[in-house]
């Protein structure tokens, strides 16, 4: 029933009489019918370059295989690192050549990389603690100990050409918090590493 309050103001009066028809009418008044429109912004669109980079990153980890040791932690070898290690293998005529990676304390940011060329058989023979892992992509092999892999997990081994020279480098580490300009000294985020460890344990 519509009633007037004067000055052109009216209001709608709804009476409840307990009949089935009234109950049916009231039951149609659901909260969902009055929900405000959602103005959620669309997800950000990746540029073609970003899309290609994501595909490359995924391929690097998918192609790199763990061939010695057992661990859920991952390490990727880039195509440029593979090309350089292949050249070293062909030049030295030694298919057992590999890149050994370690993390040790030192440098201006607390920790530094120790990278050297070596041989897989030699390193495994000296592995008294049985804590070495060997990752392989094509002919390229990378050797890393367990404590270093704990810090460098989900990173990539790359070969870069810069003004200061060409070198193997560990790049795209998600747990590095700070690093020096040359990239040889760094610090890492202990909290993020702990979160990654907990995530692995719950999966």
Task: Domain ranges for the chain, please list them.
Answer: 50-202
CATH architecture of 50-202: Sandwich (2.60)
Contact in structure between 172 and 166 (CB atoms under 8 Å)? no
The list of the chain residues with pLDDT below 70 reads 1-43, 46, 48-56, 106-109, 178-186, 202-203
Residue 97 buriedness (CB in 10 A; 0-12 / 13-18 / 19+): buried
Q: Side-chain half-sphere of 69: how many Cα atoms within 13 Å?
A: 24
pTM attached to this predicted model: 0.70
pLDDT in tens, 26-46: 444 444 444 455 566 666 776
What pLDDT shows up at residue 185? Answer: 65
Write down the pLDDT at residue 87: 97
């Amino acid at each position: 029933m519509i009633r007037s309050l004067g000055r052109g103001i009216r209001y709608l009066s709804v009476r409840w009489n307990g009949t089935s028809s009234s109950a049916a009418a009231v039951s149609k008044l659901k909260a969902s019918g009055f929900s405000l429109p959602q103005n959620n912004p669309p997800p950000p669109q990746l540029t073609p370059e970003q899309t290609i980079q994501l595909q490359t990153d995924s391929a690097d980890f998918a192609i790199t295989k763990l061939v010695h040791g057992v661990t859920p932690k991952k390490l990727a070898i880039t195509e440029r690192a593979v090309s350089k290690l292949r050249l070293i293998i062909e030049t030295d005529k030694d298919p057992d050549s590999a890149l050994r990676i370690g993390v040790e304390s030192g440098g201006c940011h607390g920790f530094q990389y120790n990278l050297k060329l070596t041989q897989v058989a030699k390193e495994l023979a000296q592995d008294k603690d049985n804590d070495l892992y060997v990752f392989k992509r094509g002919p390229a092999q990378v050797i890393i100990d367990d404590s270093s892999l704990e810090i460098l997990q989900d990173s990539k081994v790359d070969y870069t050409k810069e003004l200061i020279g060409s070198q193997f480098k560990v790049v795209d580490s998600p747990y590095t918090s700070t690093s020096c300009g040359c990239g040889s000294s760094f610090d890492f985020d202990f909290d993020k590493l702990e979160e990654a460890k907990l995530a692995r344990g719950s999966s």
